[in-house]
A and B are shown apart, each in its own frame.
Chain A
């Protein structure tokens, strides 16, 4: 019998992610960073993850955006890809992997308990706006995730046990600046995601906005981003408060991406 490469590559990528994440966490805890090794693991992990998604795509004839399993799978991939890019390009923030990888572990655990069954592709999904919308959404969440990693370091520094372990990173105000640059880029992509989504909704359902659960929650996420960016202009916001706002935006975004499809059967409930 031919080997089934799809689950095999998926499992291999998850195992490699867990190894890389553990290495990153122990590197921080034991003060023995192996940043290059983490990078060297994440790259083939992502490659295997890509192969697994491509095989599933090929087998089903549509991309990973219908079922909860597919939404989790493709977001683990995109979040890792974007984080990996930041990890590679900005060596100063590599210890943030100790914050970011556990978040991805949660998603991987969730993926493993989710049924990988095939979903039905609604007629309204045959449009290029689907890809535009999803791509911008992934770029948005990926940028916010990098900001979350940085914010996590800012907050952990206050803890007596952990603080000194992040001493090598730039000071809080520099981290805060960087984190909000990622939030600003995230704001652009979130705005683009909403626009593409509205165009799609107009085409598919004859209205560009109808406050369905996903539309409502993604707009609230957008407002929370606007709030966070403005708060920094209106007040002198401390890095700690800034970091908490980043986490709040991420929590809302996370609920929007993975909570709403979880409670409703289709990504856009009642509208497919």
Chain B
């Protein structure tokens, strides 16, 4: 009968797909894919995705057809946990977000990232989140070696209460599943008020200079004020040593500094509270703050991955335990294992 023979064919395909020899080929292919991806400069997602897909197919077919899994519950749970892991990793890749942002002290995050990558199905809930950077301390050991970062943050909880916390290093701020981590990127942020010559309302904002101490000798940046066409070049100038290689120190603002502003051939120096008239408006320098760079990571699968991993090790240990305790290693086996 056609019905029977086609289901017979299906069954045969499933059994072939469940082959343990195929598992070996797939494990080897996955290893090779990882090495290829590792050595190649360009992203080689297929070198991993294809063997992982085959891996899942092989596993599912084996779990469905191999009678071993009927007899050994622990082994079955272990392999089910492996299937769950692969599916979770795939789900995570489709929905994750990884990004970067910078906030000057006192500034509020309003959903903007300076850099990001995300899976195609990422649920965009980031723009609704708010938190403010309330300042940070970072201690350095001798030799300018960074110690702990302590960053005070505040945010509005869903119940309308203002919450505060200190984050830094391994302690992220977690808002709606988004994890905000401080990064090693931080620096100085001069604050300016721009009074447009057109008479439009003045605008206040910060300019983030290149990261400090990473770009210690390049504390300058080019930037264009709002509604203006002329780029300005601003540089922070100070003489003192902030992070002394010879002794422990702390990240802080310089106690005395000047801001150099260049527009074409013009050169001006500003201290806090001073202003300069330029062709398209008046630039007022308000003072210096610092900025912190954050990375943000979203992956809803994290707790599930953890659960699947725990299930996998516990069931694997259980499987081996029951196998090994059934028979001492130095007694020959009697029949099947």
Contacts and interface: CB of A to CB of B under 8 A. Distances in A.
B179 interface: yes
Nearest to B179: A206
Contact of A123 (B146, B295, B299): B146
A172 B97 CA distance: 53
Consensus secondary structure, chain A interface? helix
B147 interface: yes
Interface residues of A, number: 43
Interface string A200-212: 0011111110010
Nearest to B309: A195
Contact of A120 (B31, B141, B317): B141
A187 B28 CA distance: 17
A120 B143 contact: yes
B24 A202 contact: no
A211 B45 CA distance: 12
Contacts of B302: 202, 208
A66 B42 CA distance: 31
B330 A206 contact: no
Interface string A112-141: 000000001011101100000000000000
Contacts of A251: none
A202 B332 CA distance: 46
A122 B330 CA distance: 47
A234 B20 contact: yes
B27 A226 contact: yes
Contacts of A111: none
B320 interface: yes
Interface in B95-113: 98
B31 A220 contact: yes
Size category, B interface: 35 or more
A207 B21 CA distance: 34
A126 B148 contact: yes
B331 to A, nearest CB: 8
A199 interface: yes
Contact of A211 (B23, B38, B172): B38
B11 interface: no
B243 interface: no
B297 interface: yes
A148 to B, nearest CB: 17
Contacts of B141: 120
A126 B181 contact: no
Contact of A230 (B27, B149, B179, B313): B27
A236 to B, nearest CB: 11
B313 A220 contact: no
B24 A220 contact: no
A224 interface: yes
A230 B34 contact: no
Nearest to A189: B313
Contact of B313 (A173, A195, A235): A195
B337 to A, nearest CB: 9
A177 B310 CA distance: 27
A178 B327 CA distance: 11
A203 B306 CA distance: 13
B222 interface: no
Give me the 6 closest cross-chain CB pairs, A-B, nearest first.
A203-B170, A234-B20, A206-B181, A178-B329, A120-B145, A227-B27
28 contacts: A120-B145, A123-B148, A126-B170, A127-B170, A174-B330, A184-B324, A187-B316, A188-B313, A188-B317, A195-B309, A199-B306, A206-B98, A206-B172, A206-B181, A207-B98, A207-B297, A208-B299, A211-B34, A211-B37, A213-B38, A216-B38, A220-B31, A220-B34, A223-B30, A223-B34, A224-B31, A226-B27, A231-B24
